[in-house]
A and B are shown apart, each in its own frame.
Chain A
Amino acid sequence: MAFRATHLLGIEHLAPPEITALLDLADTYVDLNRRTVKHANALAGMTQINMFFEASTRTQASFELAGKRLGADVMNMAMQASSLKKGETLIDTALTLNAMHPDLLVVRHPHSGAVNLLAQKVNCAVLNAGDGRHEHPTQALLDALTIRRRKGRLHRLTVAICGDIAHSRVARSNILLLGKMEARIRLIGPPTLMPSGVADWGVEVTDNMAEGLKGADVVMMLRLQKERMDGAFIPSEREYFHRFGLDAEKLAHAHPEAIVMHPGPMNRGVEIDGTLADDINRSVIQEQVEMGVAVRMAAMDLLARNLRAARGMAAMGEGA
C-alpha cells in the first residue's frame, strides 16, 4: 500500500505517493459526506481521543465529526482546563491516556515538537492537529484536496501564500506539501513576518502583492494574529490591509480563474476583504471546511489500517 506512515506528525515525513493515496481516499469520503446517511465503519470499535492543549473550535469539531462518521468512539479532552494546571507533565498525561488503550490520538499543542514528543511515548496512532509554529498537516492536506478538485492537479500550479508566514504552521505544512507535489510557491508578506532562512526554501519571496499575485492559480491568505498587529511586527491594522489585505483590485493581478483560500477564522478587513471572502465564484473557504472532514476521515482510516496491520504482525509474532 502506498500509505505507510504510523503517525501523521507533519507533511515533512510523507512521500508524494502517500499524499496522493490519502487525497484519493478523501475524495471518496467527500461523496459519502454528501449523502443523507453518512456512516462508514472503518474505525468501528476504535477509540479516538482528541487532546487540545490550545483552544480550537473548527479543527476539533472536524476531527470529532470525522471520527464519528467512521464509527469510532470519540472523546474530547479540553487540556487547558485539566491536569496541566495541576502540574502534570505532557509525558505523564500521555502515559495516563495510553493506559486507557486509545487507537487514535489527535493532539494540538502550543509548543513546536510537543506532538512528536508525545508520539514517542504512546503505542497508538498520533495525528498532529497543530503544534506551535511547526506543522498542521491535515490543514495542508485539506487545502491540497480543495485545490486538486478545483484545478484537477497540484503540479505546476502557481500558489501564492500571503501574510504572516513566520508564525504560521499552516504555511509551513502547505509549503512542504506543495513543494513535494511540484507546485510553484510564492510567499508574500512584510519582511518582519517572513521566517529566517526563507531564501533557502526553494520558493519565491516578495513583499509586493501585485508582483506576487501575478498569474497565480491559487491565492492562500493566512490569518494575522491580533497580538502581532500592535506595532511590533507591522505598524497598524489599516496599513497592513492597505498593503497586504486581499481585495478585488489586488486579486485582479492573479489568473482570472484563480481561487481564494483561507484556513479560518478570518479577520475581515485585515487580511481579506469581506465581500471577496463571500464571493462564491472566487472564494473556496466554505469548501475547505467541507474537505477538512473528508481529509481527516481519510487520514484516520489509513492510520487505523496500518495500526491494525502492525498489531496483527505483533500478535503473529507472539503466536510463533
Chain B
Amino acid sequence: MITFFQNARLIDPEAGEERIGNLIVDAGLIAATDAANPPKGAEVIDCNGKCLAPGIIDVGVKIGEPGERHRESFRSAGQAAAAGGVTTIIARPDTDPAIDTPEMLEFVTRRAASATPVRIRHMAALTRARAGHEMTEIGFLRDAGAVAFSDVFNVTENTRVLSRCLTYAHSLGALVVGHPQDTGLSRGASVTSGKFASLRGLPAVSPLAERIGLDRDLGLVELTGARYHADQITTARALPPLERAKANGLDVTAGISVHHLTLNELDVGDYRTFFKLTPPLRSEDDRMAMVGAVASGVIDIICSMHTPQDEESKRLPYEAAASGAVGLQTLLPAALRLVHAGAIGLPQLFRALSHNPARRFGLPGGRLTPGAPADLVLFDPDAPFVLDRFTLLSKSKNTPFDGARLQGRVLATFVDGKRITP
C-alpha cells in the first residue's frame, strides 16, 4: 500500500531543515521525499501545509505493568502516546516487581504488543530488584530486547557495584541510563534549596547534588569506557562536566524532561503537588541554562518522564505526596513552547524528541529519509488550546499543565505508515 502525504511542511531533524514538500510511504517505509506527484493508486493525504515530522520517541515512560495497572496500562499509555504524537515508547523498568529477568521482559513485551499499535521498547533494571547490589543478566536481557539498563531513580550508591555493572555492560556494548544525584544530599528532599524552599519550609536538595552525582558517574565512564546516558540533567552547574566529558570523547549523552524546560520551582506555588517531580523543579536561571543547553546540543534528548500517579497519592501534604507527572500527551505542545519562544527551531526540537533518541537507543526511526520506518506525526504547531486534564487519555491525570494555555495540536499519528489516531 502506498500513501502520498501532499503539501506537508516536512521537518527533517537529520538535515536540520524544514521545507514544503510531499512524502511517499510504501509498505510501512518512507519511500521518497522529493516526488512532485502521487504514484498511481496511492492514497493521498492532504497535509494543508501542516508539519510532518518523525514520530516522537519518548525515553523513560513509566507504565504500571506489572503492578500498578490502575495508574497506567499499556493500552491507556498507547492511547495517550498516539494522541501526543509519540510513536515509540521506551518504557522504564521501575515496575512492581522490577523488569529484571529475561522472563519478565518477554512477558511485558508480549503484553505490550497485543495492547497497542504504538511501538513499546523496554529498558531493563541494571541491578536485581533495582536494589543496587547484584547486576542483572545483562546479556540475556539484551537478547530479549532490552534497549538500555537503568535502575531509574534508585541511584546505585555503591560505587564498586556501579563500576562493575558499567564494565560488564561495556563488554556487551549495552547502554546504561543513570540518574545522577548524590543521595546523601537528596534523600527526603521535595524541592530545590533556595529562597522559595526556605519560605515554604520544605525539605530541600542543593542543585549541586546533581553535579556531584554526575561527576562520579562520568569518572566511572572514563574508567570503564561504558556507554552512558544521564536520564535528566536539570541544573546549570552540571553542564560543564557534561560538556567536558563529551569533548574528551566519552560515550556520554544526556536528557531532560520537558517539565524542567518549561516550568520552574515557583510554579509549585501554594504546595501544588502536581508540580512535585524527581528531580524537583529548579530555579528560573537553571531552566534558562537548560533551554540553552538543548539549543547548543549539550543536552541531547527531551522526554516526558511520564510518571502516572493516582489522585490519592497526590492529595497529600507536599512532603508526603507522590512525585512525578504524566506527559505523553503534553510532551509536544509543551516542548513547542521553546519553539514559540524562539529558543530553538522545529528541526532542532525533533532532533531532541525523535532523532537523537533513535540513534542513542539503536532504533531505526527518527528520520525522514527513504528506508526509514514511516512513523510520523502530523501536527499544527500553532493551534492554541487550554488543557483540561480530564481530557487526557492516560489513566492518571496528574499533569502540571492543567488549565495551561498551550499551542500545538497533533492532527494524526502514523506507525508503519498506518494511522493510529482516530
Contacts and interface: CB of A to CB of B under 8 A. Distances in A.
B320 A111 contact: yes
Interface stretch (A194-202, A267-275, A304-312): A194-202
A112 B315 contact: no
B317 interface: yes
A112 B317 contact: yes
A200 B194 CA distance: 9
A91 interface: yes
A109 interface: yes
Nearest to B268: A113
Interface in A122-147: 131-135
Nearest to A175: B199
B197 interface: yes
Interface in B147-206: 193-202, 204, 206
Given A111-B318, A111-B320, A197-B195, A116 B270 contact: yes
Contacts, number: 71
A108 interface: no
A11 to B, nearest CB: 11
Chain B contact residues, majority secondary structure? loop
A117 B272 CA distance: 9
A89 B316 contact: yes
B193 A112 contact: no
Contacts of A197: 193-198
Interface residues of A, number: 25
Given A89-B312, A89-B315, A112-B271, A196 B197 contact: yes
A91 B317 CA distance: 9
Contact of B201 (A90, A112, A201): A112
B319 interface: yes
Nearest to A168: B201
A117 B271 CA distance: 8
Contacts of A133: 201-202
Given A113-B319, A197-B196, A201-B198, 11 more contacts: A90-B316, A111-B320, A112-B319, A116-B271, A134-B200, A166-B198, A172-B201, A196-B195, A196-B198, A197-B194, A197-B197
Closest 4 CB pairs of A and B: A113-B271, A133-B201, A197-B195, A134-B201
Interface of A: 12, 89-91, 109, 111-114, 116-117, 131-135, 166, 169, 172, 195-198, 200-201
26 contacts: A111-B317, A111-B318, A113-B270, A113-B317, A113-B318, A113-B319, A116-B270, A117-B317, A132-B201, A132-B202, A132-B317, A132-B319, A133-B201, A134-B200, A134-B201, A169-B201, A195-B197, A195-B198, A196-B197, A196-B204, A197-B194, A197-B195, A197-B196, A198-B195, A200-B194, A201-B195
